[in-house]
């Protein structure tokens, strides 16, 4: 069963320097029907003006990853990590017992467009850690490339949760399928372009909750870039006080 979440149904945040779309409830946007899915808590689609960004702020007990679509995102944190994240990079910060970080548009002239995604961890009070990896476009072209996993399979980044995240690029005749295990949920997010998922057309910004589906099929892409989350079959994240 597929439950669509259309791009124009998302929450909006307009702050001058920041234009944001919230797939799930976040900050001043709250919808009791959209508080996450399985262990997936946040998908924020952010566009940040040149030389602007998010000042130093804290997180704890959350798996947070950034996926840049256009431009360059500068990251600094209390672990001593400093990096610039560009398209093709996957960056994962495991907040654990607590970390502060900042994120700024690295360019003084061009905007940056990126996704920031939060996944609830299965371990509280763990040691904070930072991971980053670059994937060539060819690794995602016409396929679903595993980018995050609990066991680091296929040279993916290590995620503290029973979840797997895939990235794919599809255009023209390119197709791919993903087989899900029994009693698994999935969430599909179209980061850009358009693509057909199990015969249903999804456009940029659209998402879909997938329940009781064993196979996900991607086809008819038009400059499409997608993220696919293979998740436990619980409805909403199990958060803590």
Model pLDDT for residues 12-28, shown as the tens digit of each residue: 999 999 999 999 999 99
Radius of gyration, CA atoms only, the chain = 17
Is residue 241 predicted with pLDDT exceeding 50?
no
Q: Which helix (H) or strand (E) holds 55?
A: strand 53-59
What CA–CA distances, in Å, run from 169 to 128, 205, 218, 220, 238? 31, 15, 10, 11, 31
Domains, the chain: 2-232 (2.60.120.10)
pLDDT at 10 over 50: yes
Given a contact cutoff of 8 angstroms between Cβ atoms, the answer to whether 114 and 120 are in contact is no
Q: Among positive and negative, which fits the CA dihedral 154, 193, 23, 187? A: negative
How confident is the model over 205-229, as pLDDT tens digits? Answer: 999 999 999 999 999 999 999 999 9
Residue of 94, 90, 95, 73 lying closest to 82 (CA atoms): 73
């Amino acid at each position: 069963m597929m439950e669509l979440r259309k791009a124009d149904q998302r929450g909006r945040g307009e702050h001058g320097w920041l234009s944001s779309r919230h797939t799930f409830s976040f900050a001043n946007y709250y919808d009791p029907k959209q508080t996450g899915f399985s262990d997936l808590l946040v998908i924020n689609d952010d566009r940040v003006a040149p030389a602007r960004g998010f000042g130093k702020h804290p997180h704890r007990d959350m798996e947070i990853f950034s996926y840049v679509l256009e431009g360059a995102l500068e990251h600094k944190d209390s672990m001593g990590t400093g990096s610039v994240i560009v398209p093709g990079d996957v960056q994962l910060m495991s907040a654990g017992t607590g970390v502060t970080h900042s994120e700024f548009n690295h360019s003084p002239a061009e905007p940056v467009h990126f996704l920031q995604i939060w996944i609830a961890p299965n371990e509280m009070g763990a040691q904070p850690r930072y991971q980053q990896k670059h994937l060539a476009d060819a690794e995602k072209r016409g396929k679903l490339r595993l980018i995050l996993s609990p066991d680091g399979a296929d040279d993916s980044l290590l995620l503290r949760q029973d979840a797997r995240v895939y990235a794919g690029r599809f255009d023209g005749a390119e197709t791919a399928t993903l087989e899900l295990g029994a009693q698994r949920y999935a969430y599909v997010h179209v980061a850009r372009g358009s693509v057909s998922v199990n015969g249903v057309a999804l456009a940029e910004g659209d998402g879909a909750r997938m329940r009781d589906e064993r196979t996900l099929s991607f086809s008819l892409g038009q400059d499409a870039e997608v993220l696919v989350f293979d998740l436990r079959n619980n409805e909403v994240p199990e958060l803590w006080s």
